[in-house]
Copies of this chain bind each other. A is one copy, B any other.
Amino acid sequence: MARFAMAAANPGATPGSSFIDEILRANAEFAEGETARGLPGPAGYRGAIVLCMDARIDPIQVLGLPPGTAHIIRNAGGRMAEALRSIAISQQMMGTREVAVVHHTECGMTTFTSDSLRLRLREELGADASTIDFLAFNDLAESVREDVRIYRASAIVRQDIPVRGFIYDIRTGRLHEVTS
């Protein structure tokens, strides 16, 4: 790894409560274990999944994803507009042939509007975010349908494959398909 001109992370060197330092300690344990070895090569890519960054959702567990099968694209809300670049790469370079978009109950994206966040950013950071759409929403099923429509309107992604939308119920752990 020397050619990357970087320092090996030394999780023991920085005691304290830093979250990233805790991650580094956890990663050092992971790297010592069996799971870190024998990772699959780039084969068997089947689908791309777009979902929210929410800290309570572990998509690999929730969706039972075998390693090496799905590209997982996550952003605030699980919004398609910000996922098209990644999906185009997933399809053209890695050959995925299905897309799922998943929004979820109790999502933070329903608790604010672009305008309220812009105001907050001006107050907190003095930032002008007037040109940024923060992609908040308040109707979960409609936001899923909108994201399927955004996919279907894009020229850079395949239109000859299944694209399906879901709501994940964070209380029951269950996916519900959104019909158009």
A-side residues, CB < 8 A to B, are 1, 4-9, 18-20, 22-31, 33, 35-37, 39-42, 45-49, 53-56, 58, 60-65, 67-76, 82-83, 85-86, 88-90, 92-94, 97-98, 100, 106, 108-109, 111-112, 117, 120-121, 124-129, 132, 134-135, 140-141, 155-158, 162, 164, 166-167, 169-179
Query: A175–B18 Cα gap in the complex (Å)?
Result: 16
A30 & B62 in contact (Cβ 8 Å cutoff): yes
Total identical chains? 2
Q: By the criterion CB–CB under 8 Å, are A7 and B177 in contact?
A: yes
* Closest B residue by C-beta to A168: B27
Q: Decide: A70 and B55 in contact? CB cutoff 8 A.
A: yes
Chain B positions within 8 Å of A132 at CB level: 85, 156
- Chain B residues lying within 8 Å of A73, measured Cβ to Cβ, are 53, 74-76
Nearest Cβ in chain B — how far from A77, in angstroms? Answer: 8
Question: Which 4 pairs show the lowest CB-CB distances between chains A and B?
Answer: A26-B64, A36-B173, A76-B86, A31-B174
B176 near A5 with CB under 8 A, answer: no
Given the interface pairs A36-B173, A86-B75, A92-B121, the reply to whether A19 lies near B55 with Cβ below 8 Å is no
Q: How far is the CA of A108 from the CA of B6 in the complex (A)?
A: 21
